[in-house]
Chain A
Amino acid sequence: MSVLTENTATPAKPLAQRINWVKLAPWLYTIGLFVLWELLVIVLQTPPTILPAPSRVFQAIVQYWSPIWKNSLQTLYTTTVGFAIAVVAGLAIGLFIGWSKAIYAGLYPLMIGFNAIPKVALVPILVIWFGIGAVPAILTAFLISFFPIVVNVATGLATIEPETEDVLRALGAKKLDIMLKVGIPRSMPYFFGSLKVAITLAFVGSVVSETVASNYGLGNMMSSAQSQFNVPLVFAGLLMLAVEGIAMYALMAWIEMRMTGWAHRSSMSQ
């Protein structure tokens, strides 16, 4: 920002120097990608049923806007609900695991084993339990995204400096005091950092489940579009997912900055 305001004061500089290229870069690169894609389709003359050009995809977005919008909201809904449960449960389990070395040692292998299971394999089980629809999508989003939150919170708690703990214990601090005063605030940067990873994983979970077992959502929309060879609509769905993913990631990054600015010292002290 400062570069921009500084340069408007001296308008003698050429245009190329007046533009903040770093701020503009994400947009330029995105446009560049679409242009490249468009050119590739024109040069190779790929049929739209194999790889539709971006212009064709945008056309599909306009054409099918009503179902796309409805299904995007549905996916956003299942993802954020699953993610919200993951935040609450991940925080709770992370605090529980980080509480003592014995719990940490006992539960950690179990958690890793659980995380190694492909969540798509759990969808049929969830369908048996809850039927098809929003519930399996929410639960899959939850199951896939809570692990990084747990690991990060537990790590934050497990790495309290021993001196800090000694100082407080010598004053008669209980385990709960140390957790409340040091452990939890200390693990917050880890926690907020993990949200960025978790939210993108949550999209993976909800879309996988919608594809396999739902009548709503972008996953379902894309799988039925695919069965009708409506490939531009499939790509339109992918594009919407990317947009939602970027928006939620940006939101998490913003929350992280707001909540734990102290952990980003170098940028704040300037």
Chain B
Amino acid sequence: MPHLVTIDNVDMRYGGAAGTLAVSGLTMKVGKGEFAAVVGPSGCGKSTLMKLVTGLHIPQSGVVVVAEKQVTKPVSIVGMAFQNPTMLPWRTTLDNILLPLEIVERHRHRLRANKKEYVEKAEHLLETVGLKGFGSKFPWQLSGGMQQRANLCRALIHEPELLMLDEPFGALDAFTREELWCVIRDLHAAQGVTIILVTHDLREATFLADRIFVMSARPGKVLKEHTVPFARPRDLEVMYEKAFNDMVHELHGEIASARVVA
């Protein structure tokens, strides 16, 4: 499998030479079309990882390669979604979703002439995540879960090759979260997009991912790599199997000991 994302022995330090070292000797590879999850104790540099891969930060040493190009500036083939949906309140949900198209070089000049086609695409995405007919509503008229669904649509509208998710379901209740796990699972299956999910929720990571990277406490590096053995498509029922719980248990143990070391 060709690798879409390669991070090789990367150091990233904030605030000059005497600043905090966020990640050190970080190495990981994510294959094309793969669903990777990154777990670890808090402050392990998971958000730094997001910024390194998207090109928002350039590492002081080591190399980040995305889509066969070394990252030296924002990569623009990624979609991002954070825990905070950050919908713009003066735009309707549909216009919020179309926002990346007004930015990305390859779409921005076509947008005006092909507006209808793009709107159709956005409406199709809304339907996929279960928000059919909500495009004309303003984001503040939607619930938290609905806003997060719209946020996923916005991250996907420009057909990114790579989707970076930073704890996107952290602020949601348990049932909404499980619903959105299924939405993400189906999007991944249908669109073949590569996903890197940063999360604190070990069950979420185990349910969704093909591979799980366990990171150490700061400065972060990859301690262990797990391949998740459960066959796809996975049903929510898989979470009640013994093998699933054993894996979550094992991950939990690894993170607990990583915290103690710190």
Binding site for B on A (CB under 8 A): 161, 163-164, 166-173, 177, 181-182, 185-186, 188, 260, 262-263, 265, 269
CB 8 Å contact bits of B91-115 with A (1 = contact, 0 = none): 0000000011011110000000000
B140: Cβ under 8 A from any A Cβ: yes
Cβ of B54 and Cβ of A172 under 8 Å apart?
no
**Residues from 61 to 87 in B contacting A, C-beta threshold 8 Å:** 73-76, 78, 80-82, 84, 86
Nearest residue (CB) in B for A266 is B140
- In the complex, what residue of chain B is closest to A168 when comparing beta carbons? B103
Q: How far is the CB of A188 from chain B (nearest CB, A)?
A: 8
Question: A163-B82, A171-B100, A269-B140 are known contacts. Are A262 and B89 too (CB-CB below 8 A)?
Answer: yes
A170 and B76 in contact, given A164-B88, A263-B89 (Cβ under 8 angstroms): yes
Contact between B89 and A172, CB atoms less than 8 A apart: no
Interface hub of A163, A167, A171, A182 (most chain B Cβ within 10 A)? A171
Once the chains bind, are B140 and A265 in contact (CB under 8 Å)? yes
Does B99 lie within 8 Å of A170, measured CB to CB?
no
Chain B nearest CB: distance from A52 CB in Å? 50
- In the bound complex, residues from chain B placing their C-beta under 8 Å from that of A171 are 74, 76, 78, 100, 103-104, 158
> A166-B56, A181-B99 known; A172 and B140 CB under 8 Å?
no
Q: CA–CA, A168 to B158, complex, Å? A: 12
Q: How far is the CA of A166 from the CA of B103 in the complex (A)?
A: 13
Given contacts A171-B158, A177-B103, A262-B138, contact A164 B86 (CB under 8 A): yes
Closest-CB distance, B141 to chain A (whole angstroms): 6
Tell me the bound Cα distance from A171 to B154 in angstroms.
12
Give Cα A186 to B78, complex, Å. Answer: 25
Do B82 and A167 touch (CB < 8 A)? yes
Q: Which residues of chain B are near A172, meaning CB under 8 Å? A: 73-76, 103-105
Instruction: Answer whether residue B90 sits at the interface, using C-beta atoms and an 8 A cutoff.
Output: yes
Is B90 in contact with A262, judged by CB distance below 8 angstroms? yes
**Is residue B55 contacting chain A, with contact meaning CB distance below 8 A?**
yes
Of the candidates A167, A173, A265, the one whose C-beta lies within 8 Å of that of B89 is A265
Q: Which residues of A contact B103 (CB under 8 A)?
A: 168, 171-173, 177, 181
Pair A185/B105 contact, Cβ less than 8 Å: no
The proximity string for B residues 141-175 relative to A, scoring 1 for CB distances below 8 Å and 0 otherwise, is: 10000000000001100100000100000000000
Residues of A within 8 A of B141 (CB): 269
How close is B214's CB to chain A, nearest CB, in angstroms? 25
* Inter-chain contact B86/A181, CB cutoff 8 Å: no
Bound-state CA distance A134–B230 (Å) is 81
B260 to chain A, nearest CB (A): 31
* B51 CB-CB contact with A under 8 Å: yes
**Is B74 touching A170 in the complex (CB atoms < 8 A)?**
yes
Q: Choose one: B74, B82, B88, B155; the contact of A182 (CB below 8 Å).
A: B88
A185 interface neighbour in B86, B90, B138, Cβ under 8 Å: B90
Flag if A167 contacts B80 (CB, 8 Å): yes
* 10 pairs, A vs B, C-beta closer than 8 Å: A163-B82, A166-B80, A168-B100, A171-B74, A171-B76, A177-B102, A262-B140, A263-B90, A265-B89, A269-B140
Chain A contacts for B51, CB-based, 8 A: 166
Is the CB–CB distance between B84 and A170 below 8 Å?
no
CA A185 to CA B91, docked complex, whole Å: 10
A269 to B82, CA, bound (A): 26
A177 to B90, CA, bound (A): 16
B86 touches A167 (CB 8 A): yes
Contacting residues, chain B, for A262 (C-beta < 8 A): 89-90, 138, 140
Judge whether A181 and B82 touch: CB under 8 Å.
no
Given contacts A171-B103, A181-B99, 8 further A-B contacts (CB under 8 A): A166-B51, A166-B54, A167-B154, A170-B75, A170-B76, A172-B105, A181-B88, A269-B141
Whole-angstrom distance between the Cβ of B131 and the nearest chain A Cβ = 18
Residues of A within 8 Å of B82, CB to CB, are 163, 166-167
B84 pairs with A163, CB closer than 8 A: yes
Chain B residues in 8 Å Cβ range of A170: 54-56, 74-76, 78, 80, 164
- In angstroms, Cα B88 to Cα A188, docked, is 13
A260 to B90, CA, bound (A): 8
A98 to chain B, nearest CB (A): 17
Point out the residues of chain A lying under 8 angstroms from B158, CB to CB.
Answer: 171
A181 close to B102 (CB less than 8 A)? yes
Q: Which residues of A contact B104 (CB under 8 A)?
A: 171-172
| CB nearest neighbor in A for B166 | A163
Residues of A within 8 A of B105 (CB): 172
What is the bound-complex CA distance between A181 and B95, given in angstroms? 11
A260–B164 CA distance with the chains assembled, in angstroms: 33
